Chain A
Amino acid sequence: MVFIAILIGCVLGAIIGINAPVISYTYSSYLAIAIIAALDSVFGGISSVINKNFDLKIFISGFFGNAILAILLTILGQRLNVDIYLAAIVVFVWRMFMNLGTIRRYYVEKWSNKIKEKKIKKNS
């Protein structure tokens, strides 16, 4: 159910994104960091669905809050001539890998349990 929704969202997004107008180069660095933040939120959402502690409010506020904070940090970094966005990228990508690890462990365990059950059924 969840994954069907995600798939539909992705396909629709790709179709519209390909036909959408191109943004100017000045803003593309902000959009890039916002994409990373949003990607992190989505993976976090999926892993919390798996852990059954998904909270809609936290998820939506995280999605927009993280993206906006990351953009603001990037702007601040450009003003100060420090690449703060690198720190944001490190944190987001690190968390993405953590969440991916959770998702992967859950499914590997699920499938290995299924295989075990089948073997037990065959033997009995």
Chain B
Amino acid sequence: MTNKKLISIVLGVMCFALTVAICIQVRSVQNSTTVSQSYEESNLRAEVLRYQERYENILKDIEDLNDEINKQIDEATQENSNLEDAQSQIKEGNMIIGTTDVSGPGVIITLDDSTTDPTTVFNPNDLLLHDLDILSVVNELKNTGAEAISINDQRLVTTSSIQCGGAIININGQRVGAPFEIKAIGLPENLSNLERPGGYLDDLREKYQMQVKLEKSNNITIPRYSGVITFEHAKTVE
């Protein structure tokens, strides 16, 4: 009898481990990709996923190293007033070029494609948000005094471009798709003037039936630019 009990306990534990593994496997496969019939295609897909994973890991490493550098710099400059001055200058400079996270009051604009049935209009292109729409909204934001802007967490810096990339838009070389969440830090009363009649947001909403939402917020956090800004050709004039 004890032998049988032992057997059933062991088998139960084994089945437990097995079902846990099966559930995890099913969920991770579901998350990553649909099973493809073509051998070549599934191999390529796996390769892409593997590279994506590696990219994300490296990005995380970079962030950790940056934090480490900041900590070291803070420690090194703690008891030297000259260096502290330089440090605060560096911090200010980093804020201006967009390599630090910033937070403050501002607005969040959410833009999405129109829900109108595309078969009922002459030109279905008018129902989609384009790079130029985003660019115009960003332009108006800058005009009203936005200090920091991000689109779907892509920080806009001096070297940022907003480009059409087919069904998506390339910002900072990263693919960004609808719905777009444009965050801007500035005086919310000024920034919310974007909704004025005849403004670009009003145009998008009334003329093209896009889904436009503008929210004021007292605490918006805009992530830093994760790329590197380098000047190879430009030199300061003496």
Instruction: Write the residues of chain A forming the contact surface with B, with a CB cutoff of 8 angstroms.
Output: 1-2, 4-6, 8-10, 12-14, 16-18, 20-26, 28-29, 31-32, 34-35, 38-39, 41-42, 45-46, 49, 54, 56, 59-60, 63
Contact: B21 with A26, CB < 8 Å? no
The A/B interface has a contact count, at CB < 8 Å, of: 114
Closest residue of chain A to B29, judged by CB?
A: A28
Chain A interface helix/strand/loop/mixed: helix
Contact: A22 with B28, CB < 8 Å? yes
Chain B interface helix/strand/loop/mixed: helix
* A residues near B71, Cβ cutoff 8 Å: none
Q: Of A18, A24, A34, A45, which one neighbours B14 at CB under 8 angstroms?
A: A45
Beyond A25-B53, A42-B18, A54-B7, 11 additional pairs, beta carbon < 8 A = A9-B11, A12-B19, A18-B27, A22-B27, A24-B53, A28-B29, A31-B21, A42-B11, A45-B14, A46-B11, A56-B7
A72 to chain B, nearest CB (A): 17
* A residues near B46, Cβ cutoff 8 Å: 25, 29
- Which among A9, A20, A63 has the greatest number of chain B C-beta atoms within 10 A? A9
Known contacts: A2-B4, A6-B11, A54-B7. The answer to whether A35 contacts B18 by CB under 8 A is yes
